[in-house]
Structure 1
């Protein structure tokens, strides 16, 4: 794993990529300028782009952007987390070969960063606005994350459509999940009722993890599985209901994206993150 880049380093790469793309595709030049090149910092660009996507008559983009900038100023960890998320997409998604792609095009990234704002508001006891944003995120990005959910950094939510994460869910660092994943409750009980996901876990498409259960570090959950009991660290669980079938020999499935049950990657080989170019 390479040394994490600072927000300013990631921002330099994004601006360079945007300038090159604007020169190559004049039809999108104004889009690249409005979204990236007209801004001074990564925080400015992210807050502008997300506010534009979440704009509504009730709460216009300018108001959302002001709140986002306030959150980024008061809680620097939000910007650090979104940087790790950008790197996660570049390292794990074969379709992502530029740093600007998650920022501009990936709704899993958009929904996650908007959730980080909603979660900050939830912690500030501004719960009405947090719940409003949850609803906007659901309608805009087709993923529903309760603002009370605690989510780590280095997260990749690929495709994202249909992802549901409940109020008391906890997701560790460097987790990868695909579309239609549910981290939900198992009934109508109150209190702590949602899953706790460890670090470097891989949750494949359509998996449902239900109830206040634990999925240990570096575990794997197979596609379409329904998990109702704890999954120990470094184990693979599949089926309906899911059962542990084998110990994972992979060190960090959440980063390695190894879905195959034979512990060999499916599809394309691992893709390296974009390399900085010299100018």
Structure 2
């Protein structure tokens, strides 16, 4: 296909939206499914009732059908991109599980996320992470020129720059995502939440293993910069705008420029299993450790 020429399903979607034509002319089944009642598209999966992965893909299809019924102008796009193409994501089951964990993370942690299909199609932080997962597989397969080309394209489109060699866990939320940079030897654990303009970078002089290691359940606030091969312990919290150059112990907070450590005392009423990367609690340390009041 010549460069710049749209794929068939993209052209069909554009033609449908532009002309108002019935989407049955664009490879959509002649008999569209009936509208779905609200209870078919609940907000969260029933607890302890179904496997997360199966439930989420079923949920996405239900939401896409609902939205296609509600917005005929979007019907061709939704059928082409979701309802016709929710087969196996890749040949790697672990990647499929990571995608589902990322969808659940966005839906549960971001109050602006109105549904799984919305996240799947429109959330650039989610899309950037999934593109990185593909690039990481390519990197591991020694297909490095293609992996780097994908990295460059993702950076151009989403303003998120993640080196293909970086190791990223599952259940990741890039909230807003603009300006996120993750270096080559960085490691990000599971259930981590990262806000916009966060840098996991080197110090500019070291070589080799030179980027941060982020533990499970960490929350990194907007504009934070973590430099060097430092370790951020599980359940730690990095305040917005902080510059971190030293290790941060588990369950503690780092704030300021340069960052100072605050931590060691359990928050009143907090559960030992609570993780800031999942709770998205940015400000409890102020009440616990500071005389400053708003």
User: TM class by shorter-chain length?
Assistant: 0.7 to 0.9
Cα RMSD (Å): 1.7
Higher relative contact order (CA 8 A, sep 6+): 1
Equivalent position of 2:279 in the other structure? 256
Matched, 1:39 2:85: yes
Equivalent position of 1:188 in the other structure? 205
Gaps of 5+ in 2: 1-44, 288-294
C-alpha contact 1:143 1:163 (8 A) present in aligned 2: yes
Match of 2:76 among 30, 37, 46: 30
Equivalent position of 1:66 in the other structure? none
User: CA, structure 1 residues 40+240, in 2 after alignment: closer, same or farther (shift >3 Å)?
Assistant: closer
C-alpha deviations, 1:194-242, integer Å up to 9, x for none? 0000000000100000000000000000000000000000001100000
Shift of 1:187: 1.8
C-alpha contact 2:166 2:185 (8 A) present in aligned 1: yes
The correspondence of residues 1-279 of structure 1 with structure 2, limited to 5 A, is 5-41=51-87, 43=89, 72-73=90-91, 75-247=92-264, 249=267, 250=270, 251-262=274-285
Gaps of 5+ in 1: 44-71, 265-279
TM-score (norm 1): 0.80
C-alpha contact 2:253 2:285 (8 A) present in aligned 1: no
Count how many residue pairs are aligned between Structure 1 and Structure 2. Answer: 235
Counterpart-to-counterpart distance in 1, 2:177 and 2:88:
23
Equivalent position of 1:67 in the other structure? none
Counterpart-to-counterpart distance in 2, 1:12 and 1:132:
33
Counterpart-to-counterpart distance in 1, 2:79 and 2:57:
14
TM-score (norm 2): 0.76
User: CA, structure 1 residues 159+109, in 2 after alignment: closer, same or farther (shift >3 Å)?
Assistant: same
**Secondary structure, counterpart of 2:235 in structure 1:** coil
**Secondary structure, counterpart of 1:96 in structure 2:** coil
Counterpart-to-counterpart distance in 2, 1:40 and 1:227:
41
